[in-house]
Each structure stands twice: as structure tokens, then as C-alpha cells.
Amino acid sequence: MTLTKARIMDEIQTKLNFPRKKSVDVVETLLEIMKRNMENGDDVLISGFGKFCVKQKKERKGRNPATGENLMLSPRRVVTFKCSGKLRDKVNSEKKK
């Protein structure tokens, strides 16, 4: 089952006994801080969880898969995620059970 923003808000509300509005504000504020930093080209590191990295892609050749037409893809920034060793170990230990 996919963890959604709404479920995160519900978990915060339940586990911390916050009013619904406060849990919404906490999640929205956290996400806005992360977005703002990545928009500025900064990485976001959350110890024990992972790192969101902003990477610059150069202009490159591409092809439209529907038409087969060759084209040039413009330079752009992408966000990648690299999980921490702790998270990777937890994810892999759960698979063994």
C-alpha cells in the first residue's frame, strides 16, 4: 500500500495527538522547506533516511518513442534519491521475514 501525504498527516495526528490542522501544517511546512531548497539547487539530507540530490542534465539526443522522430532534449534539472545504509538494511531485513 502506498504511503500518501494524507496518510502521513493522519499518522502524525494519531501518534503525536495533534489536532488535524496542526498535523497538516507540519507536513505542508516540511514539504515546502524541502521544495524550496531543491528549487535553489540544494540537496536535502535526512540522516538515517536518505538524500534528495538535485542534478543538472546536459542537452542530449532523444527520440520520440511514438513517432521515432529524433530530437534534442533541453538541459534540465532532475531530483534523485539515494537511500541511507540504515534504510536499505531495514528494507532488506523486512523482505527476509
**91 CB-near residues (< 8 Å, 6+ apart):** 83
| The pLDDT value given to residue 95 | 60
Residue in 82, 4, 93, 7 with CA at minimum distance from that of residue 47 = 82
For residue 7, pLDDT beyond 60: yes
Distance in angstroms (rounded) separating the CA atoms of residues 52 and 33: 13
Domains of the chain listed by start with CATH number:
1-40 (no CATH), 43-97 (4.10.520.10)
Select the more confidently predicted residue: 95 or 72. 72
96 confidence band (pLDDT: 50, 70, 90): low
Find out whether 42 and 54 touch, Cβ atoms under 8 Å. Answer: yes
Select the more confidently predicted residue: 94 or 48. 48
Tell me the mean pLDDT in the region 6-24. Answer: 96
| The pLDDT value given to residue 94 | 62
